[in-house]
Amino acid sequence: MAAGRGTGGRVHYIWPYQYGPRMITTGQKIAIQRTTKSRLPETDLDQIKFGRTFSDHMVVMDYRDGAWQAPTIVPFGDLRMSPATLVLHYSQTIFEGLKAYKGEGGQVNLFRPQANIARMNRSTHRMCMPHIPEDVFLEALVELVRLDKDWIPQGEEAAMYIRPFMFASDEYIGVRPSESYRFMIFTCPVRGYYKEAVRVKIETEYSRAFPGGTGTAKCGGNYAGALYPAKLGQDKGFHQLVWTDAKEHRFIEESGTMNIFFHLGDKLVTPALSGTILDGITRDSIIEMARAEGITVEERPITVAEIVAGLRNATLHEAFGTGTAATIAHIQTIALGEEVFDLPALTDSSHSVHLGRKLDEIRRGAVADTRGWLVNVA
């Protein structure tokens, strides 16, 4: 593990596993090793593909001997690791995804970073990993985004996608929780997802998550297991699967890697957080905004049967996925078995169009952020 050994002094974050974090020393500036050759001048921010362009710097923070070491910011670069590194064998790894937005006046805001930090720590708990001190995480995140703020593209749907992650770094292939970990953050400038009308298939054979499993943790393994069924769906012309409960395939859970909403009758409905669904921050934001506008939102178990009935009798007006990467993905087609249903065309007053626009305005600072969702960085 060669990258980013700290140059700064050591901050000792003693972490007694069962008692949560306790910070011994803090308030220290994060050591920054700047790149000597920015890649920005040779990067065309108008021609970026999602997840393939990386900004100049990254955060590195190691956990060893029962304590977090001081975080450092170093030039983005490769890692060196032993083939025996634990994560490569047993997938003890988690991640997060959030965005920073550049507003009209050039101000840079993070959207609800504390929610991502809290969720990442719920993932650490489920995956037997050490708790990350929230304030250190936020400080490192803010410093990184500030340092690479020139990488943030401006314009509709443009943003900086931020990827915090953490993995087991013991050089050991015994099955047990690692004793050392590496926490990192890097960032990618992004433009909007190509807004193709999304075709989905309700999955009734494979499962993403199951009761007692890891469905609520943002861990790598959930994604690995979903690739094969998703590929089968793609081979049949569907962009994503709608996951259903693992026991009976009777209840709707999520859509691909997004939470799912339906405008059914005069309500907005979304599956309740049952323990097998990822607790999306976009989901939470949409629910709160919809309620504030007087829209009735129900978080409850939703059966496949009622969605199909809604498609048949035209009481299902809209279906959409929510997640940080695409924000809102409008679903145009839903298939169940051999039956394929098309949803009505969207209008300007469709909930998904209207709420999506409003959320975008908040994130860009174009309307007042009355909920304290933004953290100003620069």
- Interface with ligand PLP (CB under 6 A): 97, 218, 254, 257-259, 278, 280-283, 322-324
> Phi/psi of residue 10, each to 5°?
-95, 130
Q: How far is the CB of 193 from ligand PLP (least distance, A)?
A: 13
Q: Residue 341 carries which side chain, given as an amino acid letter?
A: F
CA dihedral (307, 319, 100, 72) positive or negative: positive
Cβ proximity to ligand PLP: between 102 and 283 the closer is: 283
95 CB-contact burial (10 Å; exposed 0-12 / middle 13-18 / buried 19+): middle
Cβ proximity to ligand PLP: between 70 and 158 the closer is: 158
Cβ proximity to ligand PLP: between 199 and 283 the closer is: 283
Cβ proximity to ligand PLP: between 74 and 374 the closer is: 374
- What DSSP line would sit under 42-100, residue for residue? G--TTSPPTTT---SEEEEEEEETTEEPPPEEEES------TTBTHHHH--EEE--EEE
Q: How far is the CB of 360 from ligand PLP (least distance, A)?
A: 14
Cβ atoms of residues 114 and 138 within 8 Å: yes
Greatest alpha-carbon pair distance for the chain in Å reads 66
CA 80-54-163 angle, to 5 degrees, is 80
Cβ proximity to ligand PLP: between 72 and 93 the closer is: 93
Cβ proximity to ligand PLP: between 63 and 101 the closer is: 101
Cβ proximity to ligand PLP: between 35 and 234 the closer is: 234
Q: How far is the CB of 321 from ligand PLP (least distance, A)?
A: 8
Q: How far is the CB of 97 from ligand PLP (least distance, A)?
A: 6
Q: How far is the CB of 9 from ligand PLP (least distance, A)?
A: 34
CA–CA separation, 367 and 268 (whole Å): 24
Count of Cβ atoms closer than 10 Å to residue 57 Cβ: 25
Q: How far is the CB of 272 from ligand PLP (least distance, A)?
A: 14
Q: How far is the CB of 285 from ligand PLP (least distance, A)?
A: 8
**Which residues pair with residue 115 across a beta bridge?**
none
Cβ proximity to ligand PLP: between 218 and 358 the closer is: 218
Q: How far is the CB of 328 from ligand PLP (least distance, A)?
A: 10
Choose among 252, 347, 254, 262: nearest CA to 296. Answer: 262
Q: How far is the CB of 50 from ligand PLP (least distance, A)?
A: 14
Cβ atoms of residues 60 and 4 within 8 Å: yes
Quick one: tokens of 19?
């008692």
Cβ proximity to ligand PLP: between 133 and 215 the closer is: 215
Choose among 136, 131, 113: nearest CA to 27. Answer: 136
Count of Cβ atoms closer than 10 Å to residue 276 Cβ: 23
> Phi/psi of residue 347, each to 5°?
-125, 175
Cβ burial 214-246 (10 Å sphere, 16+ → b, else e): bbbbbbbbbeebbeebbeebeeeebbbbbbbbb
